[in-house]
Amino acid sequence: MASRNTRPGPNPGLKQLGSTTPLPSAPGEAVLERVANPHPRKLYLARFTAPEFTSLCPITGQPDFAHLVIDYAPARWLVESKSLKLYLASYRNHGAFHEDCTLEIAGRLAGFVRPRWLRIAGYWYPRGGMPIDVFWQSGRPPAGLWIPDTGVPAYRGRG
């Protein structure tokens, strides 16, 4: 599980942004990169949405699909978006249950950028007639943080 610490300044040491970068073959090979938050004292929410996230069922090898919503209140660091996209895409050939994928992503991001607060909502599309949604957050959100709804409608087949 590689991560690259970057330093604030005009040349933050990013290796992937602006260059051709191959898709990592597994999440553990993906390199996350971060940049200094230009507003570390301001309380705000940043959101990443991955409506076409894919992984594999670890038992059958069949593809699983999810709509992920990642919200975080940055502190000192921001996650660099290209590195996050490559990290998320590295799951497409990775076998893991829905809960494992969702919590692994949350843990890696929380440990790497050390935000004030982070939550992830994993809306997994049904296979076998049952959607599985997985939610996690790092704790109570900071007072005064505006947290919009994830915007993902409930599965229409739910009663």
Contact 53, 65 (CB under 8 A): yes
Paired residues of 63 in beta bridges: 56
Task: Compute the distance between CA of residue 94 and CA of residue 31 in angstroms, rounded to an integer.
Answer: 16
Residue showing tokens 């602006």: 18
| CA nearest to 153, candidates 129, 137, 131 | 131
> Is there a catalytic annotation at residue 149?
no
> Is there a catalytic annotation at residue 71?
no
Question: Which residue of the set 57, 71, 100, 133 is catalytic?
Answer: 57
Residues with a catalytic annotation lie at 57, 64
